[in-house]
Amino acid sequence: MTIPPINQIDHRIKIWLLIVSLGALAALAAAALREEFGSEWRHYQRQYTDILAAKATDEQGRSLLKAHEIKLRQIVVPELGVTDRCVSCHLGIDDPRMAAVSNPFKVHPGEYLRVHPVERFGCTICHRGQGAAVVFAEAKAEDYHWDYPLLPIELTQSSCGLCHTPPEVDGAGGDRLASGARLFEIKGCYSCHKLAGRGGSMGLALDREGLKVKGQMPMANVAGPHTVPEWLMEHFADPQKIVAGSQMRNPGLSYDETRALTTYVLSLQERDLPRSYISPALNALLAERNNPSELSGEQLYNRFCSNCHDRGTYGRFDKAYNKFMPAIRGASLVAYADSIFLAANIRSGRPGTMMPGWGIGAGGLSEAEIGRIISYLKSAPLPTDVPIREMPASLDFSHGNPLQGGHTFARLCVGCHGPGGIGNYAPALSNKIFQTTADSAFIYRTIAYGRIDAAMPAFRNPGRGGLSDAQIVDLVAYVRSLGARGTPRTAVASTGNPTGHKP
């Protein structure tokens, strides 16, 4: 083995050292050059100098050109947690002369920046995106680890809802938000979702839905960009496509309506912004939450019940749920059921079925509101030509034979009500709330005379192939036995008798 002389090693190291340091210097110089001449924002600022020069035709134009410097610009609004460098590229945002140029130089559309001065609001409070970024892809932040990427332009009105009520900005730059809020009401979203503690329970509460981030949503079936706004758009267009087997009914919206509803749902954030930024109308609305405004029985019905019960005046077979939805404003139910029954069923719902509870601890409705809903249910006109109130005086329910009744039930009723009355296409008769609220007379009348305008047939037709009173009494005994054996009726009336209807 030969060892090279020591002076030769020294020489080789020197050459390598030279090569490495020259390489490092070159890399540094390239980075500096890229920052100086290649960086996106400088590139746009230089382009903007040319635009300003072309428009410098008067005194004002010349002074704007003269004042233009190539430098990083940023807006800091500590109260809103905003540090936005968007204006490093969006240089003409407040210059009305920049209407015909293309982005990022274009003047801002509408009155938005006139009523919301840039120094006080910045950009990301309305647009989202990564404020501190100086590269557009990072500002947009769709493919970066950033919770709230730039909103698509057509959903940007969702932000108005952080500080304003939807009706307040209707016709003032927030039309899409306002129409989304109306759709939420009309389409019965409250039937299954709560806002401010009021609503059904099949779906989640949506108070902070606008703050969801993409990791919280199943993105596998989303065709467009994997963002929360896109998830919502595609979910509203077809819930079952995005969430296999979703119980959420397709709301049947046009493309425009889908965007409006998404805009509104994105606005639901409950952000804790300084009071000085929140409009008086929104402040009032937030304060009113503990003391909800007086909605009429009809308004309450439309908001909370109509998605499932529809108009309520006829029984409806719901294909999506493979079930008859009870006609809760139907002539028969309204005639047979007293207010105790109705109030208790509305307050507690029918646990284990789709019918949610609506009382204070469940759906958030007050007893007074439940009373107004009952008045509304009973306001449907009753046909007079049907003897639905007739009730043979001689019936003795204590002598019904549940065994006999069970045979009849298996023959005539199981197909709709399920074995043991567990519920099938028709309501569950073994349900605890039904059992503790329905009295025997109510059950008798329902079986004897059926429900007009609903799928429940009338079975009383003695001597002509129908059931006799004795057979119906046996059936009542059987139905009674389905709960906790002979459960007595325990429900009590709430606020007196809100409807004036005599039980």
Lookup: tokens for 306: 């109509």
Question: Whole-angstrom Cα distance, residue 2 to residue 12?
Answer: 17
Interaction with ligand HEC in 352-371: which residues (CB under 6 A)?
353-355, 358
Amino acid at 6: I
Q: Footprint of ligand HEC on residues 138-157 (CB under 6 A)? A: 139, 150, 153, 156-157
Choosing from 51, 52, 82, 86, the residue that interacts with ligand HEC (CB under 6 A) is 86
Q: Which stretch binds ligand HEC (CB under 6 A): 46-54, 198-206, 381-389, 487-495?
A: 198-206
Whose CA is closest to 190, among 299, 81, 99?
299
> Is residue 179 near ligand HEC by the rule CB under 6 A?
no
**Binding residue (CB under 6 A) for ligand HEC from 55, 309, 329, 460:** 309
**Of residues 226-285, those binding ligand HEC (CB under 6 A):** 232, 239, 243, 246-249, 251, 261, 265, 273, 277, 279
Tokens 């425009």 belong to which residue? 256
Q: Is 466:459 a contact under the CB 8 Å cutoff?
A: yes
Among 48, 101, 155, 159, binds ligand HEC (CB under 6 A): 159
Q: How far is the CB of 202 from ligand HEC (least distance, A)?
A: 4
Instruction: Report the 10 Å Cβ neighbour count for 349.
Output: 21
- 174 scored as a contact of ligand HEC (CB under 6 A): yes
Between 68 and 106, whose beta carbon lies closer to ligand HEC?
106
Residue of the chain from 52, 91, 333, 482 that contacts ligand HEC (CB under 6 A): 333
Query: Length of the chain in residues, anyone?
Result: 503
Verify binding: residue 347, ligand HEC, rule CB under 6 A.
no
Contact indicator for 351, 202 with CB cutoff of 8 Å: no
Taking the least distance from each CB to ligand HEC, the nearer of 156 and 227 is 156
Q: Smaller CB distance to ligand HEC: residue 187 or 194?
A: 187
Q: Hey, what are 379's tokens?
A: 């306001």
Stretch in the footprint of ligand HEC (CB under 6 A) among 60-68, 291-299, 317-325, 394-402: 317-325
Residue with tokens 């606008």: 210
Please, which residues have CB within 8 angstroms of residue 393's CB and are 6 or more apart in sequence?
none
User: Are 104 and 46 in contact, with CB atoms under 8 Å apart?
Assistant: no
CA distance 83 to 132: 6
Q: State yes or no: residue 491 binds ligand HEC (CB under 6 A).
A: no
CB 177 within 8 A of CB 169: yes
Q: Identify which range of 11-19, 199-207, 282-290, 383-391 contacts ligand HEC by CB under 6 A.
A: 199-207
Window contacting ligand HEC (CB under 6 A); options: 9-17, 56-64, 427-435, 483-491: 427-435
Rounded to whole angstroms, how far apart are CA atoms 325 and 317? 6
d(CA 179, CA 149): 24
Closer to ligand HEC by Cβ: residue 23 or 280: 280
310 Rama class: left (phi>0) / alpha (psi -120 to 50) / beta: left
Q: Which residue has the tokens 């969702």?
A: 158
- Taking the complex as a whole, the smallest distance from the CB of residue 410 to ligand HEC amounts, in Å, to 10
Q: Using CB under 6 A, which of 427, 449, 477, 480 touches ligand HEC?
A: 427
Residues 393-412, interacting with ligand HEC (CB under 6 A): 409, 412
Question: From CA 168, how far away is CA 175, in angstroms rounded?
Answer: 10
Which part of the chain contacts ligand HEC (CB under 6 A), choosing from 56-64, 385-393, 420-428, 486-494?
420-428
* Cα distance between residue 167 and residue 314, in whole Å: 34
Nearer to ligand HEC, 62 or 436 (CB): 436
**Of 39-78, which residues contact ligand HEC (CB under 6 A)?**
40-41, 44
At which residue do the structure tokens 């110089």 appear? 29
**Centroid of chain to Cα 21:** 61
Considering CB under 6 A, how many residues would be counted as binding ligand HEC? 123
184 binds ligand HEC (CB under 6 A): yes
Binders of ligand HEC among 109-138, rule CB under 6 A? Answer: 109-110, 112-113, 115-116, 118, 121, 123-127, 129-131, 133-136
